[in-house]
Chains A and B, each alone.
Chain A
């Protein structure tokens, strides 16, 4: 009996979290959000989906005749399931560090901006120019003009 209550509580709390996040993007206060914000909402709730994952989710959430908006009634059950099933789990720092090390083929301990740009704009799910620029502006050490990736991690 205690389990039942706590399970319910977990679901309710989860749903309230989802509702909060959804509301932040619900500009017209009519329980809809622009479909382009779905990725942001899902990610802000702690998930790390890939672009392909998102694509699938959005396909599920859109109306039969796409309106460009996603309704809360559809979003809630989908998102609840994602959270309760712990899909798209976070990427740990260790993993992320490994990833950078993989790209640092010559084991220099840092990456050149051009190197990183090449990988991230050509491989995997490529960054747009804007995404790349933004990342570089945050990641590149202004004095040495390289990305000291080890410094990102404590």
Chain B
């Protein structure tokens, strides 16, 4: 059995027997075809996840850059105070509540505006109007957005941190996970499951915004229903309901683009609204719903007393005393340079080694080899200041360990300057920890509770931690979101934890389903899955896999490109005779060690690099498909590569500097930022080069730079895509 058998059509054989053989053959062939597709689907998924988790490194990088900037502020030529205030300034609201309300009422909406006009208190007419308008791609006028946010803020102020619900008033409660700006998914859920109402209560478990392009529409709808049905609509805060996250992951940009006049004020209000969102929901005193997860320190009673509105952003920590800062800054600057060393030097892993990763990844993935990925880098991270406090209350981290970056960020609006007291960490810090744990933690399979150093905040919590918490509060189930799952949901910890994720096609068309849960009085969850599709005709499995795979591979190739010089140097170490070829084994080894992505490189090789006639890998071929976009400012290839790698970080910094969100910054600001950034990275760039670059980018010679244009130059083009497009 197993060898190809020929189907000789013999006259003596009954047709049905040959037919049966033919059928088996086709079935065998088809099942193999499907398995092959499934493998591709699966490794596509692995690629997306790996890149996502690698992208979290970028956030650490960025935050350490912020602290670096603070440390070095005195060295900046006279521009210090301005830049810092750019960074940290939270505009203090001079207006009182009443004045605000009046101000919004007085905003004039022109006759030509054809979108919905809301009237408060809201009615079903308003929510219906909003839904229709958004389906037609209309934008709600800034006035109504402001009014809506203002009313939402007022409403949320009276809510507790933890909301207790009961199923006895309704048939079933529907629980949805991350939406991430995907309006299509929200509308699909409403279509399948009905709109929120007294008979149809909903809980949305955070992460409404960022990444998708319709975050504004989503929060408008969610807040409108919140005001309309305050007892039947509930929103939990997610880690993306955070204005600093929004700077990085797209929501801020979206708001500024859609609301040129009122955008800044909308963003201001949103800061407050987000920090006022409740942190947890409990159903029937049995089911706990939070966005991220829990830690071994989570305590619902303490959580109820936290002043949640003070935690505006997980990246902004309670202040620490100054001596701590000085100690850390010394160790950090020395460690900075050691991080930029050769790719195979083990980076100090003081913090990361304590985190036991449940995913197979090198725990020494710090600094030097990370690269900034753009579109597919979706997940988020924050900087944890808590290293020292969690394990050894007040000792500074061993140097030259990985810096604890944002210990240094000082928050102007927290007016008390907390000095480090023995032995209890200050209350603000404890509160901050509680909140961040709830918003950022992920479950893991092994027992214990370890720092989630790759996210930078929160913990990995094991089944024992879940068990302990559920027992402590007499609960039976934890429902959380925060992580994308291929089927839209996943159970773990012996069924005690459910992850629910509602943004389908999160990575790419076809990458995953979305799901929601319905929970009735018997508290047995029922799952409903769906997947938004671009075309009305259902894509075949093959088409879905191909699209998702294409996207994953493009992202992967960009990663290769971003590390091109390091890779080539390493390849050449194996290729002494300079043949341009090395064995598959060697190729896989190099790629894995430079990129530090734990992926099945041998399985992927056919999609990434060519084989020569002798069966070896032509290692140069993995870069052939990518070329830089144009035009490029006059920089060396190395610098171009660096710029490409860090362009996401640069974008964020520019956005912060660009306070009025005009897209323009002054040449001087550009120079300063760039100088700082390159010295932070340890890249040798002389002043002249920077000046030349700045001047060349200042296209209209008016002393300001359109940084979006600048960053556009460092996109890459995938040549194969272009060819496909040209062929039509």
- Residues of A at the B interface (CB closer than 8 Å) are 12-13, 16-17, 20-21, 23-25, 28-30, 39-44, 47-53, 87-92, 95-96, 98-100, 102-103, 105, 119-120, 123-127, 131, 134-135, 137-138
Whether the Cβ atoms of A138 and B29 lie closer than 8 Å is no
With A53-B2, A92-B4, A134-B34 already in contact, the answer to whether A105 and B15 are too (CB < 8 A) is: yes
Whether the Cβ atoms of A102 and B7 lie closer than 8 Å is yes
Whether the Cβ atoms of A102 and B9 lie closer than 8 Å is yes
Whether the Cβ atoms of B603 and A20 lie closer than 8 Å is yes
Shortest distance in angstroms between A112's beta carbon and chain B's nearest beta carbon?
Answer: 15
1/0 contact string of B346-367 vs chain A (CB within 8 Å)? 0000000000001110000000
Whether the Cβ atoms of A13 and B9 lie closer than 8 Å is no
Whether the Cβ atoms of A48 and B540 lie closer than 8 Å is no
Shortest distance in angstroms between A99's beta carbon and chain B's nearest beta carbon?
Answer: 4
Alpha-carbon gap, A26 to B112, bound state (A): 58
Alpha-carbon gap, A34 to B24, bound state (A): 26
Shortest distance in angstroms between A142's beta carbon and chain B's nearest beta carbon?
Answer: 8
Complex contacts, A120 vs chain B, CB 8 Å:
23, 26-27
Alpha-carbon gap, A54 to B427, bound state (A): 60
Whether the Cβ atoms of A137 and B6 lie closer than 8 Å is no
With A39-B35, A96-B25, A102-B19 already in contact, the answer to whether A90 and B4 are too (CB < 8 A) is: yes
State which of A20, A91, A137 has its C-beta within 8 Å of the C-beta of B29: A91
State which of A23, A88, A99 has its C-beta within 8 Å of the C-beta of B2: A88
Whether the Cβ atoms of A43 and B7 lie closer than 8 Å is no
Whether the Cβ atoms of B23 and A123 lie closer than 8 Å is yes
Whether the Cβ atoms of B29 and A24 lie closer than 8 Å is no
Alpha-carbon gap, A92 to B28, bound state (A): 12
Whether the Cβ atoms of A91 and B19 lie closer than 8 Å is no
Whether the Cβ atoms of B26 and A24 lie closer than 8 Å is no
With A47-B32, A50-B24, A91-B29 already in contact, the answer to whether A138 and B541 are too (CB < 8 A) is: yes
Q: Is the interface of B mostly helix, strand, loop or mixed?
A: helix
Alpha-carbon gap, A9 to B87, bound state (A): 57
Q: Which residue of B lies closest to A91 (CB)?
A: B29
Q: Is B414 an interface residue (CB 8 A)?
A: no
Complex contacts, A39 vs chain B, CB 8 Å:
31, 35
Q: Which residue of B lies closest to A103 (CB)?
A: B22
With A29-B358, A102-B7 already in contact, the answer to whether A124 and B27 are too (CB < 8 A) is: yes
Alpha-carbon gap, A21 to B42, bound state (A): 10
Whether the Cβ atoms of A24 and B42 lie closer than 8 Å is yes
Whether the Cβ atoms of B540 and A137 lie closer than 8 Å is yes
Whether the Cβ atoms of A91 and B35 lie closer than 8 Å is no
What range describes how many residues of B lie at the interface? Answer: 35 or more
Complex contacts, A28 vs chain B, CB 8 Å:
358, 445
State which of A43, A99, A102 has its C-beta within 8 Å of the C-beta of B35: A43
Alpha-carbon gap, A95 to B21, bound state (A): 11
Known contacts A102-B9, A124-B20; 18 further A-B pairs (Cβ under 8 A): A16-B585, A20-B601, A24-B42, A28-B445, A43-B31, A44-B39, A48-B32, A49-B28, A89-B2, A90-B32, A100-B26, A102-B21, A119-B19, A120-B26, A125-B24, A125-B28, A131-B34, A137-B538
Alpha-carbon gap, A151 to B133, bound state (A): 46
With A102-B22, A120-B26 already in contact, the answer to whether A29 and B540 are too (CB < 8 A) is: no
Complex contacts, B38 vs chain A, CB 8 Å:
40, 44
Q: Is B104 an interface residue (CB 8 A)?
A: no
Q: Which residue of B lies closest to A127 (CB)?
A: B27
Complex contacts, B6 vs chain A, CB 8 Å:
95, 98
Whether the Cβ atoms of A24 and B603 lie closer than 8 Å is yes
Please provide the chain B residues from 576 to 607 with a CB less than 8 Å away from any CB of chain A in the complex: 584-585, 588, 600-603
Whether the Cβ atoms of A40 and B7 lie closer than 8 Å is no
Q: Is B43 an interface residue (CB 8 A)?
A: yes
Q: Which residue of A lies closest to B540 (CB)?
A: A138
With A20-B601, A131-B30 already in contact, the answer to whether A99 and B542 are too (CB < 8 A) is: no
Alpha-carbon gap, A102 to B17, bound state (A): 10
Q: Which residue of B lies closest to A125 (CB)?
A: B27
Alpha-carbon gap, A20 to B360, bound state (A): 13
Q: List 25 A-B contacts (CB under 8 A).
A: A21-B39, A23-B600, A28-B358, A29-B358, A39-B35, A40-B38, A41-B39, A43-B32, A43-B36, A48-B28, A48-B32, A88-B2, A95-B7, A95-B25, A99-B22, A99-B23, A102-B9, A123-B19, A124-B23, A124-B26, A124-B27, A127-B30, A131-B31, A137-B538, A138-B540
User: Which of B29, B46, B445 neighbours the largest number of chain A CB atoms within 10 Å of its CB?
Assistant: B29
Whether the Cβ atoms of B27 and A103 lie closer than 8 Å is no
Complex contacts, A125 vs chain B, CB 8 Å:
24, 27-28
1/0 contact string of B20-64 vs chain A (CB within 8 Å)? 111111111111101110110011001000000000000000000
Complex contacts, A126 vs chain B, CB 8 Å:
27
Alpha-carbon gap, A96 to B33, bound state (A): 13
Whether the Cβ atoms of B28 and A50 lie closer than 8 Å is yes
